[in-house]
Structure 1
Amino acid sequence: MHQNNLIYKGYRLTAKVSRGGDAIEPQALPSGPVFTASVMVVQAGASHDGDEYPVPQFAGGGFVYSPREAVHAAILHGREIVDGLTNTPS
């Protein structure tokens, strides 16, 4: 199973995967399930839930064909967010 949590530069990134398809136009429906994701970003030692961010790849109506791909996209976007928060390159 692909890990959906990562500690990166002192922040915990958590991918929240959803089975997609609701926003896809009927003529464009794929034959199998599709997935989207968002990412939660919270300081690693914090006790609150953190902030949830949409993944640009999915916010525009995109999707992927496996949960693993959705997790990967969300974690990559989370790393970009943390780099922006900490003003450090990856």
Structure 2
Amino acid sequence: MHQNNLIYKGYRLTARVSRGAGAEVQALSSGPIFIASITVVQAGAVQDGGDEYPVPRFAEGGYVYSPREAVHAAILHGREIVDGLTSVPS
């Protein structure tokens, strides 16, 4: 099973995977398709639910064929978000 949580530079990244079906994504006959979003919160903020961000790949109508690929894409995007947050000059 692929881990859908990661601590990166003091932030907890949580991928939320769902089946891509409905009006915006057409399921193909080859099997189910998946999309994901990413939630970013400071690792020490136990009570905070964090901020959820769409993954550009999926927001633009893309999809993948396994939950593992969806988690991977979401976590990569979450790392980019954190890198943007932590590179702000003080």
Calculate the TM-score normalised by the size of structure 2.
0.90
**Is residue 40 from structure 1 mapped to residue 29 from structure 2 by the alignment?**
no
Amino acid at match of 2:28: P
Aligned mates of 1:76, 1:30 — CA distance in 2? 25
* Structure 1 runs (4+) greater than 2 angstroms displaced: none
Which 5+ residue runs of structure 1 have no aligned equivalent?
none
Distance 1:24 1:49 in 2: 28
**Aligned length, in residue pairs:** 85
Aligned to 1:63: 63
- Could you tell me which runs of 5 or more consecutive residues in structure 2 were left unpaired when the two chains were aligned: none
Q: Does the alignment pair 1:24 with 2:22?
A: no
Question: How far does residue 30 in structure 1 lie from its aligned partner after superposition?
Answer: 1.3
SS at structure 2 position matched to 1:79: helix
The AA in structure 2 aligned to 1:12 is R
Aligned Cα root-mean-square deviation (Å): 1.1
CA distance in 2, matches of 1:83, 1:60: 22
Shift, 1:42, TM fit: 0.1
Partner amino acid, structure 2, of 1:50: G
Identity of aligned residues (%): 76
